[in-house]
Amino acid sequence: MNNLKLNLEGVYPFVSKEKVFAFKAKVEESQRLLHSKTGKGNDFLGWLHLPSSITTEQLNNIKATAESLSQATEVVVVIGIGGSYLGSKAVIDALSNSFSQLLDNGAHPHIVYAGQNIGEDYHYELLQLLEKKSGAAIVISKSGTTTEPALAFRLIKNHLEAKYCKLVAKNRIVAITDESKGALRTLATQEGYTTYVIPDDVGGRYSVLTPVGLLPIAVAGFDIHELVRGAQDMEKFLMDAPFEENPAMQYAAVRNALYSNGKKMEILANFEPKLHFMTEWWKQLYGESEGKENKGIFTAGVDFTTDLHSMGQYIQEGERFFFETVLSIAKTKHQLVVPTDKDNLDQLNFIAGKRIDQINKMAELGTKIAHIDGNVPNIHIEIPELTEYNLGALIYFFEKACALSGYTLDVNPFDQPGVEAYKKNMFALLNKKGFEKEGDVLRKRLGI
């Protein structure tokens, strides 16, 4: 199958090929643990064979719901946080026209997001938008009590019911939640919302290929059948391919080899603006999966060439504790050539007649050489072009490699115990019942 290309030549000047391949046995053991379901967190492996388990009927059902939501709806609000919104936003942004919010072609609703922050102005302005535009909501939460999405949904639910009446509003709300328990499941049953299930054995950051990601992507007008087909082909390829031909296993190995060599941060760089939120999704996937037990590679992201004019100086000459992974797109959708200017005041006639993408590719190559010369190890990942099929394959590749890398690091890549710490403090400071004593201690500590 493999349309995804992994190039490690930019790593070997810093960590030898022998040292990378020394991790082969450990990564192969990680693969065995995954597929035998005997490793840490094995009750959260539903994503592993998720692509191949999705049926055409399920996809058609999701597509039908998307079409129903889209009718006479200008704006659909996707309510969720972390993996409940990052995956769908990554795919939608990668495939959308960069200026779709300003283009009112009426073919599909605009997708906006809520519940990913607690910004008062943000939510006020969102409600103003929904007052002017016809709206609907997809609310995503396993429990229904996660603060950020629960708060946003309370606001948006009240708005939709006030604007359309309760009976009409229920047909403008879809809940994606637990199959049988939790506050959102209870509410959805009471109100009669259309619902989809978040599988118990799929964690949020691995949930793009469940209705969590597929429904918003379908509402935006993209082909979820092709997205899933790309993931299915990648699933089969990565399960069957030996280490020497397996990009997920090699990516897991090289990350651990670099980490053991003192590289504590990985920067994911792209030269395509549409990939910004793919980087954000990747940051959560790897950061939340590996950052525990005082271990793990810190994940960061940059958008080039933009960030070469901000972070470029540090990457080139700062402390050498990181490595760089470049996510590259071989072919663009459109073609645009630099015109000739007779006065040449900007001194750009030397690139006249060249395509913009050719210039961008030379910027990418020049940056790679400069960073390697600046002692930054460089991993290169390339997909052919931005299509649903290729993005489905890329998503599954990153998920599989993340699980293998976490097991190789000897952590549980499927839990996230640390994310509860801030919530306990927030609840205590807001005087939530049961947190009163903790609140008193914190206020005294803070002098408030």
DSSP state of 94: H
Number of H helices, E strands in the chain: 18, 10
Q: For residue 356, give the 3-state DSSP assignment.
A: helix
d(CA 424, CA 429): 9
Consecutive H or E run containing 77: strand 75-79
Residue 277, token pair as written in the block = 């939120």
DSSP state of 368: H
DSSP state string for 256-300: HHHHHTT--EEEEEES-GGGHHHHHHHHHHHHHHH--TT--PEEE
Is 423 marked active-site? yes
Q: How crowded is residue 110: how many other Cβ atoms within 10 Å of its Cβ?
A: 20
| Sequence letter at residue 192 | G
Pair 411, 293: CB distance under 8 Å: yes
* Catalytic choice (288, 324, 364, 388): 288
d(CA 69, CA 236): 33
Q: For residue 24, give the 3-state DSSP assignment.
A: helix
* Catalytic choice (166, 423, 424, 436): 423
Is 324 marked active-site? no
Pair 319, 313: CB distance under 8 Å: no
Q: Enumerate the H helices of 112-265 as residue ranges.
A: 120-132, 147-164, 166-169, 183-191, 211-219, 224-240, 247-260
Consecutive H or E run containing 391: helix 388-409
Pair 412, 289: CB distance under 8 Å: no
Active-site annotation, residues: 288, 423
